[in-house]
Amino acid sequence: DVKVTQSSRYLVKRTGEKVFLECVQDMDHENMFWYRQDPGLGLRLIYFSYDVKMKEKGDIPEGYSVSREKKERFSLILESASTNQTSMYLCASSRVFPDIPYEQYFGPGTRLTVT
Amino acid sequence: KNEVEQSPQNLTAQEGEFITINCSYSVGISALHWLQQHPGGGIVSLFMLSSGKKKHGRLIATINIQEKHSSLHITASHPRDSAVYICAVSSYNTDKLIFGTGTRLQVFP
């Protein structure tokens, strides 16, 4: 079974703090994704990584950065947390097959509250 | 206009009812995904399909590529089916997904 784990289920941080969200997958997947999920807006892609040290901006990268130093680990960093970053954050991973779509496997999510 | 539209946004049913959730998309796709998210929980993939129909237990997913439309059916619904169902598409030449906003289903005993 593919397993994607996230470092925290719930997190409360203060405005201006630097926040690290960690994601680890155990299936040697090439692709890893960070999403945020907000009511009425669905899932929105923040950043995508297709290989170690490779990253691509998603739809809403402002205020976020990412790090992928090892294949199994993908970190999302909020450089200076703000209240509008209060959200559910979901990590996902998938394999890459040329020209063949592949399902994504999701972590349990981290509900971040910034006060 | 969103590239992936789901309807209805909210759905309430009595246990045993047949349920249909619809998804329409406006982009070329290589596959369509149906995902399930229970309250407070992560997301699991139910189906990935690029043509025809797939069945798993009481769940059936269909897709009509020409009409750019998919449906998720739940037969003999049960309270444990209560969840948010999300439609997503894989567009060509990308590993990224485009998501609908989800359908919240509540099934009452």
- Binding-site residues on chain A for chain B (CB distance < 8 A): 4, 31, 33, 40-45, 48, 50, 58, 90, 92, 94, 96, 99-109
**Cβ–Cβ contact B30 with A under 8 A:** yes
Assess whether the previous peptide bond of A101 is cis (omega < 30° from 0): no
Q: pLDDT confidence of B2, banded at 50, 70, 90?
A: confident
Q: pLDDT confidence of B1, banded at 50, 70, 90?
A: low
Nearest CA in chain A to B95: A101
Identify all chain A residues contacting B101, using CB atoms and an 8 Å cutoff.
40-42
State whether residue B79 is helix, strand or coil: helix
Pairing relation of β-strands A19-25 and A73-78? Answer: antiparallel
Nearest CA in chain A to B43: A106
- Mutating which of B2, B27, B43, B63 best tests the A interface, going by the most A Cβ atoms within 10 A? B43
Sequence-separated (6 or more) residues with CB below 8 Å from residue A99: B30
Q: Please compute the mean of the pLDDT values over residues B89-105 and round it to a whole number.
A: 89
Given a cut of 70, is residue B20 above it in pLDDT? yes
**Cβ–Cβ contact B102 with A under 8 A:** yes
The 10s digit of each residue's pLDDT in A6-45 is: 999 999 999 999 999 999 999 999 999 999 999 888 899 9
CB contact under 8 A, B33 and A103: yes
Residue A49 confidence (pLDDT):
96
State whether residue A82 is helix, strand or coil: coil
Helix, strand, coil shares of chain B, percent, nearest 5, are: 5, 60, 35
Given a cut of 80, is residue B70 above it in pLDDT? yes
Rg of chain A in Å (alpha carbons): 14
Residue B97 burial by Cβ neighbours in a 10 Å radius (0-12, 13-18, 19+): buried
The 10s digit of each residue's pLDDT in B43-68 is: 999 999 999 999 999 999 999 999 99
Neighbour order of strands in the sheet with A19-25: A4-6, A19-25, A73-78, A64-70
Identify all chain B residues contacting A102, using CB atoms and an 8 Å cutoff.
95
Residue A100 confidence (pLDDT):
75
Q: How far apart are CA A30 and CA A40, in angstroms?
A: 30
Residue A52 CB neighbours (<10 A): 13
CA proximity to A82, closest of A36, A49, A24: A36
B98: which 2 tokens? 């485009």
Smallest Cβ distance to B95: which of A31, A40, A108?
A31
Strands (DSSP E) contained in chain A are 4-6, 10-13, 19-25, 31-38, 42-51, 54-57, 64-70, 73-78, 87-94, 105-106, 110-114
The 10s digit of each residue's pLDDT in A85-110 is: 999 999 999 988 776 778 899 999 99
- For all residues of chain B together, what is the average pLDDT? 94
Identify all chain A residues contacting B102, using CB atoms and an 8 Å cutoff.
42
Q: How far apart are CA A32 and CA B57, in angstroms?
A: 30
Residue A2 confidence (pLDDT):
65
- CA A14, A15, A17: angle at the middle one, nearest 5? 70
- Mutating which of B95, B101, B103 best tests the A interface, going by the most A Cβ atoms within 10 A? B95
Q: Please, are residues B101 and B8 in contact by the beta-carbon 8 Å criterion?
A: no
